[in-house]
Amino acid sequence: MTRSLRELVKEYITDRRVRKCRLVNKDGRCNIEFGNVMHRNRLAYVLDIWTTFVETRWRFVILHFTASFTLSWFIFGLLWYWIARDHGDLEWQNPPENHTACAGNVDTLTYAFLLSLETQTTIGYGNIYVADVCPGAVALIVIQSLIGTIIHCFWCGVVMAKIALPKKRAKTITFTDKAVICPKKGTLCLQIRVANLRKTLMIGSQIYGKLLRTTITPEGETIILDQVSIDFMVDSGKDSLFFVCPFTLFHVIDKTSPFFEMAVDTLHQQEFELVVFLDGTAESTSSSCQVRTSYIPQEIMWGYDFLPIISRSKEGKYRVDFSNFAKEVPVPTAHCAYCYHNEAGHHHHSISGIDNKGFEVIDIEKPNVTKM
C-alpha cells in the first residue's frame, strides 16, 4: 500500500513538472529565459525607451510616473531656491524694504518646492509668484513649463498605448483546454475549438500551428525546439475566416502529419508541444493581434469529440451555448491512424503479446469420465 501511494505521488510530481516545462503557457505567454545578455545589448532597452515602458508592468509604470514628476518638481524647486538666494530674497539675508524679489514669498526650500509644483502643474494659488526683475527666473519658468509638458505627453501616451494594446483584445478570444482526436469528415482529425467572446469580428483571421519537439538529425545533431508546421482548417477554409461564432479547427492526420505515427497508447508517452496561433485584426480598433495557446500530450484526448454548441431558437435566432464549449464525449475511434486507414503491418496494440499465425485451432473431444 505504501509503495503504491509513493508511486502515485511520484507520478503526480512528474506530471506537474511536465506541465510546467512548456514553452507557451495556456494564456499565450512564452516561458523562456534569456541568459548571458551582454551589457551593451541591455543598452538597447534604454535607447528604445518607448517600447520598454509600454511593455512594463502597470505597477512599475505607476512607480516611474510618480518618481518622474516628484523628481522634476524637486530639482526645479532647488533651482528656484538657488535663484532666490542668489538674488537675496530670503529672510535670513535681510533684504532691504524696497527690495523686489524674483520669486515672491519664496523664503524656504518648501516654498520653492511649492513654486515648482505650481509652475509645472499650472495651478497658481497666487501667494507665490515670479517677478519680471530676474531674466533667469523668467527663463526658468519657460524651461520648466516645456519640460513639464513633455513629461505629461510622454506618460499620457504610455498609458493610452498600454490600455489599447492588441493583447488586451486577445483576452476575449479563448481556446479549449483540451484537444481531441476522432473521425471527422471521412478522416481522422485532431480538433480544437476556439471562440470570440465579443460580437465585434476579427477581420482576416488566420489559423496555424507549430509542433515543437526535440529531434536528432542523421548527422547526430540534437535540435531542441524543432518546429514542424501544422495545418488547421475549418469548414470555410484556411484563410479569411468569418469569426462570428465559435468554430472547430481540424487538423487531418494523414501520412504527412506528425501525429500519423502515434496511437492511443503511445500518445501520452511522446514529448512535444503543439502551439496554436490565431492572427487577425480587431474590427473596432483596426489593430492586429495574435492569440496563442499550447497543448502537451496529456492535454490531447484520443477517441473524444466536442459537443455541439450552436443551435437555432424558435424565433429563428442563432444561439451559442457556451456551457458545452469545452465538453467532450467519447466516440468510436480507431486505435491509430494506420488502423483507421486500414494499412496492414503497422497496427499498434494496447495489450502485450503478438499473434501466432501458425497456430492451428482444433477441436478437443471430451474424455469419457465415469462418475462414482
Grid cell at residue 93 = 539675508
CB of 90 closer than 8 Å to CB of 195: no
Q: Tell me the HSE value of 169 on the side-chain side, using a 13 A CA sphere.
A: 21
Burial of 49 (0-12, 13-18, 19+ CB in 10 A): exposed
Q: What is the pLDDT of residue 300?
A: 92
| Statement to judge: residues 179 and 148 lie in one domain | no
Q: What is the pLDDT of residue 39?
A: 62
The answer to whether position 365 is within a domain reads no
The answer to whether position 352 is within a domain reads no
Distance of CA 11 to the CA centre of its chain: 29
| Statement to judge: residues 138 and 227 lie in one domain | no
Q: What is the pLDDT of residue 284?
A: 80
The answer to whether position 249 is within a domain reads yes
Domain-terminating residue out of 131, 164, 197: 164
Q: What is the pLDDT of residue 10?
A: 67
| Statement to judge: residues 125 and 247 lie in one domain | no
CB atoms within 10 A of CB 149: 12
| Statement to judge: residues 137 and 187 lie in one domain | no
Give the Cα-Cα-Cα angle 293, 13, 214 (nearest 5 degrees): 50
| Whole-number Å distance between alpha carbons of 84 and 112 | 9
| Statement to judge: residues 190 and 261 lie in one domain | yes
H or E element that contains 328: strand 328-330
| Statement to judge: residues 337 and 255 lie in one domain | yes
Domain-terminating residue out of 140, 164, 188: 164
The answer to whether position 258 is within a domain reads yes
Collapsed DSSP state (helix, strand, coil) of residue 104: strand
| Statement to judge: residues 205 and 146 lie in one domain | no
Q: Give every CB contact of residue 299 below 8 A, 6+ residues apart in sequence.
A: 177, 178, 179
What pTM does this model have? 0.70
| Whole-number Å distance between alpha carbons of 145 and 130 | 13
Grid cell at residue 43 = 543598452
Based on the structure, what is the number of domains in the chain? 2
| Statement to judge: residues 122 and 191 lie in one domain | no
Grid cell at residue 94 = 535681510
The answer to whether position 97 is within a domain reads yes
Q: What is the pLDDT of residue 367?
A: 47
| Statement to judge: residues 183 and 323 lie in one domain | yes
What dihedral do alpha carbons 27, 171, 180, 237 form, nearest 10°?
-130
| Statement to judge: residues 146 and 250 lie in one domain | no
The answer to whether position 112 is within a domain reads yes
DSSP code for 345? T
CB of 257 closer than 8 Å to CB of 222: no
Place of cell 475549438: 193
Q: What is the CATH number of the domain that holds 72?
A: 1.10.287.70
Domain, as residue range, for 60: 55-164
| Statement to judge: residues 140 and 177 lie in one domain | no
Per-block mean pLDDT, blocks of 10 residues, the chain (372 long): 64 60 81 71 78 90 95 95 89 83 87 92 84 89 94 94 81 90 88 87 85 84 86 70 81 90 87 90 83 91 90 81 88 85 52 41 47 40
234: which strand partners? 237
Q: What is the pLDDT of residue 350?
A: 42
| Statement to judge: residues 279 and 219 lie in one domain | yes
Q: What is the pLDDT of residue 353?
A: 39
Domain-terminating residue out of 164, 181, 199: 164
Q: What is the CATH number of the domain that holds 188?
A: 2.60.40.1400
What type of residue sits at position 337?
A
